[in-house]
Amino acid sequence: MQGINKVTILGTVGIKPELKEGSFKVCDFSIATNEKYKDRTGNYVKSTEWHNIVAFGKQAELIQQYCNKGTQLYIEGKLKTNSWEDSQGNKKSKTSIHLKEFQFLGGDKKSSVSSVKTENKVMDFNNFDGDIPF
C-alpha cells in the first residue's frame, strides 16, 4: 500500500522570499502559523510554529514577485527531509514543505495584485470567502 504525503498550511510569510536561479528556479521561505489555547491555569497562551517552504519554477517566480513579509498564503505540498554532513562531519537534516499549490489570501497591504494566473488557474484572492477546503 502506498502512503499519502500531503500538508496543508494557512499562514503568514515571515520575510520577503528570494528567488535563486541556477539550473532551475527555486524559492525558499518561511511561513508562520499561530495557535492560541488555554493552559492548565486558565491563561491564554499563543504559540507560533515556523514552516520551511520550497517552491520551484513558475511558482517560485510568483511567490518571489508577489509575496512580502506579512502576506497570507494557503499552501498545499508534501514533506521532504534533506540530510547532509557539515564540515565537521556532524549529521544535519532539514524538513521542508515542497510546494504543489498555493493561493494568496488577504492581509498584505503592500501588494496591489488582485489575481495571478498560473497553470491555467486564476487565483483571485480579493474575493476570498474564508472557506478553506480542508
Alpha helices (H) along 1-122: 57-66
Greater confidence, 115 or 54? Answer: 54
Is pLDDT of 118 > 50?
A: no
Looking at residue 64, its pLDDT comes to 94
Q: How far is CA 119 from the centre of its chain?
A: 18
Tell me what pLDDT residue 23 has: 87
Q: Is 77 helix (H, G, I), strand (E, B) or coil?
A: strand
- Going by C-alpha positions, the residue among 77, 43, 49, 83 that lies closest to residue 63 is 77
Q: Say how far apart CA 96 and CA 77 lie, in whole Å.
A: 9
Confidence of residue 123 (pLDDT cuts 50, 70, 90): very low
pLDDT given for residue 111 in this prediction:
46
Query: What are the residues facing 47 on neighbouring strands?
Result: 35
Pairing outcome for strands 115-118 and 72-85: unpaired
pLDDT at residue number 11: 96
Residue 109 is given by DSSP the state T
Dist CA 63 CA 81 (whole Å): 22
Residues contacting 133, CB < 8 A, separation 6+: none
Question: β-strand 72-85 against 91-104: which pairing, if any?
Answer: antiparallel
pTM of full prediction above 0.75: no
For residue 22, name the pLDDT band (cuts at 50, 70, 90): confident
122: confidence class by pLDDT, cuts 50, 70, 90: very low
Mean predicted confidence (pLDDT) in 13-41: 93
Q: Which residue ranges form the domains of the chain, and what is each CATH number?
A: 7-124 (2.40.50.140)
